[in-house]
Structure 1
Amino acid sequence: MNVNLANYLFEKETLYLNPIIQEKREIEEKQVIVTKKPLVVHENTPISKDKIVPLPSPLRLKHKVLILTESISENEKAFLSKILNAVGLTLSQVDLVELNKVQTIDYQFFIAQKVTKKFISFGVGLGKLNWNILLNLYQVKNVDQIDYLLSDELRIVEADLNLKRSLWVALKLMFDN
């Protein structure tokens, strides 16, 4: 069966649920349940700042285009800047997210912000974020009114002329809408 045909036929269906992943989700849900107790602070009790660990702040998006990479070097940033210029954007007009700095992006929080309209991932499959969106390389897919595009890593695309062409065709399709 052709991959595109399979994606079309089974796009919104779960064909297989991995019982191991399901067990992990159930365990995580059990661990998240916390009972609320009133906080009692005595005036004479010193508060140690060493024990306070800040929670990672949720990702705040400001632009309609989000670029996701595992990490990005200065050379890759320069190449990305050229790519963005070709579609009429600059680095300052997009949200650039490096996964090694953020660790993960919560899908429900991402969708609830209703900021991003175009999501381009360079070398990071959305399964790595635990998002249930199947993307094919260099094919634009619209889910929840957001256009998604999966590409190879920037360093790989920069070195291969055919991949540059494939990326350009997909970007034209994505940004002409």
Structure 2
Amino acid sequence: MQIRHSHIVLDACCVLNLCASENFIEILKSIPAQVVVTEIVRERELITLQRLGNEENEAALQFETAIAQGLLSIVDFESESEEDAFVNYAFELGDDGESATCAIAIQRGWAIATDDKKAISFSQEEAPHLQVLSTLEIIKGWSEVENLASTKLRSVLSAVRTKGRYKPHRNHPLLSWWENLMQ
């Protein structure tokens, strides 16, 4: 996986899906850029991860471990223009996490990772020069770096589907890759 930016900002949906994979730390290590989440996403998603139940608490631990190991950084608004963009994007997107992710990524020229169709189209309209990645692109990139066996990859994707409640939309560029592995 090639990332054309120094940083990639993970939206909440990607955080949840990558944590659901049970390989969050390994996946982060394979990303060739600094991975960040916004303070708003951290505040809300860590709470969500902790509420998932005993089995899923491993996801919250991996999230916290990734931060402690420097694999995942937390960023917050650094300028008035970022805060203004956040407010404007919240009006458009209707979600604080996606709005903060887009505001910081667009203002700083960083890549975005999201699975939300509205956030994807919004980002592509606002900043067509920015790279927008999905959970599947990140997992596929990790699987190629690690040369994962198809059985391991199927297990990971199954966990993302079940625990993350994720399924790629019918126009996702990696839908056939997903379907072939999930058979």
Category of TM-score, reference length = shorter chain: under 0.3
